Structure 1
């Protein structure tokens, strides 16, 4: 779907196909017919945006075979779908029985990550609508935080320079501009917007920037207005927003809340969990502070959440089960937020709630001003299949999320563009 900002800018809204399991071209084409086109029909629109996730093997086929690429492009057009963005965070195997930290491999110190990302950018140039100003590709925030020795950090920084140069070459060859956004995520080298400024500041802003995931921002208890201002002052553009909600337990000492959280602690994906700093552990002992440089110290210790030499504003565990088993401070008045992408439009099991209000504030901060700070928005709820009660009507659920997002966009002054 497309919207028009009051300043005339086109803003694209779609949903991310990483919710669907497909790691070959036949599977990708099948999911367009089985899910994406029905979502469009449920919404009653002539055109729907789909942010494609294309696994490494699919991208390799598309880069090497013009007929395969034309097939995908034709399928999108025939079903009233368009693609302006790709999700290149997962490399492969995103729907294995256990994914967890494997989703961060290969990282940006590995040549394979650079090649995959540039291949995704080249594929996207062939899928972009003719009137789209540019495309975007989202990727991981360098790596999981450990191990990350100096030599790997240096290799990654060199890879980012080569990425910018490669994107410039693609633009010269195709006439299409693609920007890559690095997606801060709890537990990674770049977890917060402050760390984004530290690690990613000084990059080519015409080609590289941030993919802001609203769930991740909420889990880190970052206030949207301050976070967006921080990125803007550092010259880091928000290339893409992933519209997503975290799960929050307002009182993690409540047995009902803990029971509901326990039902979300599933084995496939990582569900990093955070609480504001200052809470005490269940034993009454002060929580373990971060070591110099912000590194976590042992199980349940805080993960990096600020620049070196400063206290992290939150404490956290790498997975929800660890938090529930005593790894995270638990006290009344100190909410927990969990990296579990919850449907935008629906409340989770009481007394849990989502961070939908936080997401609404992000949308206002990005799009409520005289000019938009971002023009690619992707609803990214990939966790439908691991909900305690998975939906029987997935297209209906995705359509309801997009309708929720549509209402928020028109609420901040955008107008739906039916053209």
Structure 2
């Protein structure tokens, strides 16, 4: 079952979440053409806490989902709250994995997901941030985060339903790339309970080879627990006037849009946000921008998107990781339009078609 991530919706209380499911998720399911639609729920911390502490409320919430033809096998526990504030930027990386609030929130999500999983689910997955923004980060922080993940692993092992944590590398964070995540997680976590969330927008921004990346993950003895099906902006010639003009429309104030440039010698140069990239990067090589683009629609020329990276990952995946379409940027997308349900349904069809092609040839 392919899911779409509900962090695209701003609701941060239970009543608002149900209203958003009625307004968007049910029409998405109808336009997608399935009797049951996967939703990768994002629950702000107070909602997760309330459901985790009230079994009757959790059972009622599951019944509400069932009545709408919605199923849950994965949660996005990366944002803690305020994900649709006027300015989010680096606030999305708080609380860090050194803060007890992060562990508490994740444990609440484990309880909630256990209550929402279908009876025949092989496992549930929870994606989480890559420890923190890269600075400040010290060896002491490393030790504290390791202890927190050890405590979480103990809870996962004791959970009545099988739930796995999926750590999501992101540009600019302590675990910036998949290679960083493998280096930090390998030998430190139990791979039966903790693996990777492979966000294909983040992977593309890092300029890593998708096929080689999947091989390295397998060689490290870790699993891709979850794939966030997403695409970045690609700029072949960032010095060109028409490219600069097209990019300007994407330099918006809510979210952080990290930029990476591939130098001729293979070095990847970095800027932390699109508005500052023009001054900080030489623009001699191609750019990739952390701006989640709709999978089914090309950006304005001369910009392109990195759906080729996602397609390569889907073609080479082994096993059955959870697939979650995660385009949370519709509200800040230039010319995004008003038909959010139609756009999400089109993305899901795009992903389903490529997964179907993969299974037909495997």
Partners of 1:323 and 1:375 in 2: CA distance: 34
Q: CA deviation at 1:313?
A: 3.4
Partners of 2:107 and 2:54 in 1: CA distance: 16
Query: Are residue 323 (structure 1) and residue 281 (structure 2) matched?
Result: no
- Of 338, 354, 359, 2:289 maps to 338
- Greater mean alpha carbon deviation, residues 58-67 or residues 89-98: 58-67
| Residue deviations 1:60-98 (CA, integer Å, cap 9, x gap) | 110122232122101110011100000000000000000
1:405 aligns to what? 351
Provide the secondary structure at the position in 1 that maps to 2:232: strand
Query: Are residue 385 (structure 1) and residue 336 (structure 2) matched?
Result: no
- Of 312, 317, 341, 1:361 maps to 312
Aligned 1:22-171 pairs, distance under 5 A: 22-170=11-159
1:232 aligns to what? 218
| Residue deviations 1:266-317 (CA, integer Å, cap 9, x gap) | 00000000011347xxxxxxxxxxxxxxxxxxxxxxxxxxxxxxxx831110
Q: CA deviation at 1:400?
A: 0.2
Partners of 1:44 and 1:150 in 2: CA distance: 50
Partners of 2:358 and 2:267 in 1: CA distance: 30
| Residue deviations 1:372-406 (CA, integer Å, cap 9, x gap) | 33420000000000011122110000000000001
1:221 aligns to what? 207
Q: CA deviation at 1:413?
A: 1.7
Partners of 2:123 and 2:359 in 1: CA distance: 23
Runs of 4+ in 1 over 3 A off after TM superposition: none
Partners of 1:374 and 1:160 in 2: CA distance: 24
Give the number of the structure whose alpha-carbon radius of gyration is greater: 1
Provide the secondary structure at the position in 1 that maps to 2:290: strand
Partners of 1:259 and 1:374 in 2: CA distance: 41
| Residue deviations 1:166-190 (CA, integer Å, cap 9, x gap) | 11122xxx2x110000000000010
- Greater mean alpha carbon deviation, residues 70-79 or residues 49-58: 70-79
Q: Which runs of 5+ in 2 are unaligned?
A: none
Partners of 1:139 and 1:117 in 2: CA distance: 8
2:197 aligns to what? 211
| Residue deviations 1:79-120 (CA, integer Å, cap 9, x gap) | 111000000000000000000000000011111111111110
- Of 197, 200, 204, 2:185 maps to 200
1:308 aligns to what? none
Provide the secondary structure at the position in 2 that maps to 1:112: helix
Contact 1:241 1:374 in 2 (8 A): no
1:243 aligns to what? 229
Contact 1:213 1:244 in 2 (8 A): yes
- Greater mean alpha carbon deviation, residues 60-69 or residues 112-121: 60-69
Partners of 1:57 and 1:253 in 2: CA distance: 45
Alpha-carbon RMSD: 1.2
- TM-score for both structures, normalised by structure 1: 0.84
1:266 aligns to what? 252
Contact 1:248 1:338 in 2 (8 A): yes
Provide the secondary structure at the position in 2 that maps to 1:181: strand
Partners of 1:196 and 1:150 in 2: CA distance: 16
Q: CA deviation at 1:414?
A: 5.3
Partners of 2:290 and 2:125 in 1: CA distance: 23
Q: CA deviation at 1:48?
A: 0.6
- TM-score for both structures, normalised by structure 2: 0.97
Q: CA deviation at 1:229?
A: 0.8
1:256 aligns to what? 242
1:19 aligns to what? 8
| Residue deviations 1:330-355 (CA, integer Å, cap 9, x gap) | 12xx2100000000000111110000
Partners of 1:241 and 1:375 in 2: CA distance: 7
How many residues are matched? 360
| Residue deviations 1:357-386 (CA, integer Å, cap 9, x gap) | 1110011111xxxxx334200000000000
Query: Are residue 350 (structure 1) and residue 336 (structure 2) matched?
Result: no
Partners of 1:212 and 1:313 in 2: CA distance: 22
